[in-house]
Structure 1
Amino acid sequence: MTPPNPDAITIITTTRDGQDFHTQYFANINAILRPGDQVVIVDDGSAHPVKRPDTLAVTPRIKLIQSGKIGRGAALNLAISQAQTAFVAIQDIDDLSHPNRLNVQGKFLNTHPDTLAFTTAQSDRASAHSDWHKIPAKRLYRSNPLHHSSLMFHRNIWDRAGGYDPDLDCCIDLDFYLRAVCRAKASIWHSNQALITRNLDPATRHFAGISIRQYHQTLQSVLNRHRAQIAPPTWMRIYDMKRTLGSRL
């Protein structure tokens, strides 16, 4: 059933073995949901499956899907495919959204629908920007300063971009951002309002088990996919030219 509120948002969460965060996650969700907002959770094969607390067990606003082990990218695609609202907001199970997050990002997207809208985390360093500012896609070739768990966007951007890549072991978020820019012609905007609190413990982050070598190989592969459409910074092009020339000597 379509939510009565046209500004309603669906929170998208995927998880595997995040049982240590279930209690705080559901408490946070219960605190921030507004009339019409919904939640879709995909449990991607947890050893201890996600269970809704008794206080939220019968609400139709929270849809819980036990998918088995399908991988992070496929789980995100499955969750978003079930969203009944125009806007979707990503929230990792080990992070927290602040009370005004949905209002702030939803208001921005109402006037900037072709946007990937990100916010700052409470732990981030202060920025010189006043608030919403545009980030060029080529900036992501230097590093990725964006928190996937703070992302909100219109569902049709996901459709036009072709969703998340289910075959990537990591860098799934970066690949989606770049494909959203290239295929869906989306722009990237970032707010300096601190609207999420991140779990900073590397031992319990989702991709803690990915080796450094695998990460860098995947990162390079993802960046190479989009080089033809997104001109990297000048210094990176010069570096690549020197590396190519060096390999021929």
Structure 2
Amino acid sequence: MPEVSVIMSVYNADNYNILVNSVNSILNQSFKDFEFIICDDGSSNKETRKFLKMISDLDPRIKVIGYDQNRGLAYSRNQCINVCRGNYIAFQDDDDISEPNRLEEEVAFLNSHQQYAFVGTIANVFNKDGIWGKFRTPEQPTKKDFLWNSPFLNPSMMFRTSILKKIGGFRVNKETRRAEDYDLFFRLYAKGYKGYNIQTVLFNYRINIENEKNKKYRPMKDRISEAKIRYKGFKMLHLGIGSIPYVVKPVIIGLIPNRIFYTIRKNRYK
């Protein structure tokens, strides 16, 4: 059995180089004892299936699964989790890049810190032009760190498989479709599990910020869904009446004019 199961969800990939670079960042890890499960989340284009067939031939540790109808990231990741055999489960998004020592560092941390159920990292923020910012996360997140945003970078995370399966993986419904990670971390902390963020850049997180100058990266319906997730999550964590302004935060931000929002979002990663 492998020590680590790396999971990736893919939907309508349209750039083979971006996809294969992300895959290779896992295949080229200094830590070698892993399986790599990639789920085709009901892609409607033929290119994705062709790409995944090519990728599956790169390494015997790669296993491609899938289905015909798009179900969303939470459902797709759960399908991967169901077939994982490793003691740990690591996430990887299909357009991001893991540093070569990411898995090694995260495994070493969880092996030596039994009090933590999962671990993540800070990251470089990049696009087609290169690195343009930093994604910072608190080292030892507390419940109050959930108020402004999720205190974890989801695709950089590694979990103890037993715990991830014990809580049932991701919750799948319309409400969590764009906030499945936030919801997952709320439920973990509500059950008494804790996470940690290694304060070393072990991940490269793609944000194409220039696409957001004239268009919000999230529609209002997703912001309303996040507000619902926040309300339930803050209630689970017993954060009290002081959390109410943070419930409506995503809706208020959605009302900010595009250009102003673009500047705020860009400066966040400086």
Report TM bin, short chain.
0.7 to 0.9
Structure-1 residue corresponding to 2:14: 19
Structure-2 residue corresponding to 1:176: 184
The one of 26, 39, 63 aligned to 2:36: 39
Aligned runs of 1:220-239 on 2, under 5 Å? 220-232=227-239, 235-237=242-244
Q: Which moved more, 1:144-153 or 1:208-217?
A: 208-217
Q: Specify whether residues 95 and 212 from structure 1 end up closer, same or farther in structure 2 by C-alpha distance, changes over 3 A only.
A: same
> Partners in 2 of 1:153 and 1:213 — Cα distance?
31
> Partners in 2 of 1:15 and 1:55 — Cα distance?
12
TM-align CA RMSD = 2.9
Structure-2 residue corresponding to 1:91: 92
Q: Specify whether residues 22 and 228 from structure 1 end up closer, same or farther in structure 2 by C-alpha distance, changes over 3 A only.
A: closer
- TM-score, normalization by structure 2: 0.75
Structure-2 residue corresponding to 1:82: 83
Structure-2 residue corresponding to 1:115: 117
| Per-residue Cα deviation, 1:33-56 (whole angstroms, up to 9, x for no partner) | 633211000010222324346585
Runs of 4 or more off by more than 6 Å in structure 1?
Answer: 126-129
Deviation at 1:218, TM superposition (A): 1.1
> Partners in 2 of 1:128 and 1:174 — Cα distance?
14
The code of the aligned residue for 1:221 comes to K
Q: Contact conserved, 1:139 with 1:232, CA < 8 A, in 2?
A: no
Deviation at 1:215, TM superposition (A): 2.2
> Partners in 2 of 1:66 and 1:100 — Cα distance?
29
Indicate whether 1:155 and 2:161 are aligned. yes
Structure 2: segments with no counterpart, 5+ residues: 126-132, 248-270
Structure-1 residue corresponding to 2:252: none
Q: Which moved more, 1:26-35 or 1:196-205?
A: 196-205
Q: Contact conserved, 1:12 with 1:80, CA < 8 A, in 2?
A: yes
Deviation at 1:146, TM superposition (A): 2.3
Structure-1 residue corresponding to 2:259: none
Structure-1 residue corresponding to 2:255: none
The code of the aligned residue for 2:88 comes to F
| Per-residue Cα deviation, 1:126-148 (whole angstroms, up to 9, x for no partner) | 8798xxx3101331122224211
Deviation at 1:229, TM superposition (A): 2.9
Q: Contact conserved, 2:81 with 2:165, CA < 8 A, in 1?
A: no
Deviation at 1:118, TM superposition (A): 1.1
Q: Contact conserved, 1:16 with 1:43, CA < 8 A, in 2?
A: yes
> Partners in 2 of 1:169 and 1:127 — Cα distance?
24
What is the identity percentage for the equivalent residue pairs of Structure 1 and Structure 2?
20
Structure 1: segments with no counterpart, 5+ residues: 241-249
Indicate whether 1:196 and 2:198 are aligned. no
| Per-residue Cα deviation, 1:8-44 (whole angstroms, up to 9, x for no partner) | 2111100101231222123222211633211000010
Q: Specify whether residues 195 and 126 from structure 1 end up closer, same or farther in structure 2 by C-alpha distance, changes over 3 A only.
A: same
Deviation at 1:177, TM superposition (A): 0.6
Q: Which moved more, 1:193-202 or 1:105-114?
A: 105-114
Equivalent position SS for 2:206: coil
Structure-1 residue corresponding to 2:63: 63
- TM-score, normalization by structure 1: 0.80
> Partners in 1 of 2:230 and 2:55 — Cα distance?
44
Q: Specify whether residues 127 and 88 from structure 1 end up closer, same or farther in structure 2 by C-alpha distance, changes over 3 A only.
A: closer
Q: Contact conserved, 1:138 with 1:233, CA < 8 A, in 2?
A: no
> Partners in 1 of 2:137 and 2:22 — Cα distance?
31
Deviation at 1:85, TM superposition (A): 0.4
> Partners in 1 of 2:217 and 2:136 — Cα distance?
30
Deviation at 1:232, TM superposition (A): 2.7
